[in-house]
Amino acid sequence: MPIGTAPAARDCPGCASDAPRVFSPPNLPRMRPALSAALGREERSREAPEVVSDIPRQRRRRRPPHPALAHLPKP
């Protein structure tokens, strides 16, 4: 069949009754939620990307002191 000419229903080869066409995305029920959200963000940003005026500041993480340094004399 050429693209776009498929009927809305066909005869089922097993029971000979009408079998409606059903469209569903592949592997969607088994997709992890994080991957699904990332793909959704990617698809939305394709048409309407978010624009920022500057690079976000990164907080500097304070490293925990090493336990061996506690025994050194303080200046």
Q: For residue 28, what pLDDT is reported?
A: 63
Q: Under 8 Å CB-to-CB from 11, ≥6 apart: which residues?
A: 17, 18, 19
Q: For residue 34, what pLDDT is reported?
A: 92
One-letter amino acid at 25 equals P
- In tens, the pLDDT along 30-74 reads 778 899 899 988 988 888 877 778 887 887 778 778 888 878 887
Q: Under 8 Å CB-to-CB from 20, ≥6 apart: which residues?
A: 8, 9
Q: Measured in whole angstroms, how far is the alpha carbon of residue 62 from the centre of its chain? A: 32
Task: Compute the average pLDDT of residues 23-29.
Answer: 68
Q: Where are the domains of the chain?
A: 9-70
Q: Extract the tokens encoding 51.
A: 């624009």
Q: For residue 75, what pLDDT is reported?
A: 74
Q: Does residue 27 carry a pLDDT above 70?
A: no
Specify the length of the chain in residues: 75
